Amino acid sequence: MSRYAVFGNPISHSQSPAIHRQFAKQTGVTLSYDRQQIDVGKFHSAAEIFFSEGGAGLNVTVPFKLDAFEYAEELSDRAAQAGAVNTLIFNNGVIKGDNTDGEGLLRDLKHNLQWPIEQKNILLLGAGGAVRGVLGALLSASPASLIIANRTEAKAQELVLRFEQAAEKAKCKMVACGLEQLSTPFDLVINGTSASLGGELPPIATSVVVDSLCYDMMYGKDPTAFLSWAKSSAARDTADGLGMLVEQAAESFYLWCGVRPNTAPVIQFVRNSL
């Protein structure tokens, strides 16, 4: 039986084992999938033990995506572009790092929600690991413009520089700014900050979300603080990041097992269990 796991800290909240067990059941793949809380600074040694004991693949979540990037012996183009890894694959004696967060977000936006991206004006809030992971995929969908706004503006500026070539290739106007500078509405607003984790809101004007489609990468049983605020600020529609979570897991499952699971019933399964 192939062994998989997710490494993170904290990890007790992780839905990944439930999601991958659903995928396995659905596709007839036999696997085991556990969650492991790893001490900060111990990622490398824990991954060594996991793979030397026959582990076939790992998912990696906060705060280890940069450690996984350094640990991987080979990188996919999208992981190299993001500078972060959320999936490790052991294949033919080599540990390859990939990043499925961007594909997960794109599939949720385009296929599940049917929210258009091409030629749209997009606002991406935040400049942490999650935003880094999704920028390449968002740009590949050719938005007209992409504004990265972050509390610490310098981090947003760094991302604009890092993804400059991808933006040029997509003919997308990409700029960075601080949160307080925003005023005009966008077609699509994606909250990639961790503010919702603490029930907080990024400090942006309500005018920014009027008639916008608003997405929060965070998810929960109830609407997040950002989505409740967006709804009461006249957003056109809102969605949380549960679909992204399941879609990025499906992409990892595909990389490991070569089978693409049907995500819709699994999104519903996880939604019901929250």
Nearer to ligand NDP, 185 or 241 (CB): 241
Of 117, 213, 227, 244, the one binding ligand NDP (CB under 6 A) is: 244
Q: Is 152 in the site for ligand NDP (CB under 6 A)?
A: yes
Q: Is 81 in the site for ligand NDP (CB under 6 A)?
A: no
Closest approach of ligand NDP to the CB of residue 12, in Å: 14
Stretch that binds ligand NDP, among 19-27, 47-55, 124-132, 139-147 (CB under 6 A): 124-132
Of 121, 248, 252, 263, the one binding ligand NDP (CB under 6 A) is: 248
Q: How far is CA 264 from CA 14, 72, 107, 243, 270, in A?
A: 19, 31, 11, 9, 10
Overall size of the chain counted in residues: 274
Strands 55-60 and 2-8: parallel
Burial class (CB in 10 A: 0-12, 13-18, 19+), 227: buried
Q: Is 218 in the site for ligand NDP (CB under 6 A)?
A: yes
Closest approach of ligand NDP to the CB of residue 169, in Å: 24
Q: Is 252 in the site for ligand NDP (CB under 6 A)?
A: no
Long-range residue pairs from 90-98, CB within 8 A, at least 24 positions apart, any chain: 90/51, 90/55, 90/56, 90/57, 95/51, 95/71, 96/72, 97/68, 97/69, 97/71, 97/72, 98/252, 98/255
Q: Is 127 in the site for ligand NDP (CB under 6 A)?
A: yes
Residue type, 266: V
Catalytic residue among 25, 65, 169, 231: 65
Of 129, 136, 185, 261, the one binding ligand NDP (CB under 6 A) is: 129
Nearer to ligand NDP, 57 or 102 (CB): 102
d(CA 107, CA 121): 18
Establish whether 65 is a catalytic residue: yes
d(CA 44, CA 218): 27
- Return residues touching ligand NDP (CB under 6 A): 62, 101, 104, 126-131, 150-152, 155, 192-197, 200, 202, 217-219, 241, 244-245, 248
* Active-site residue list: 65
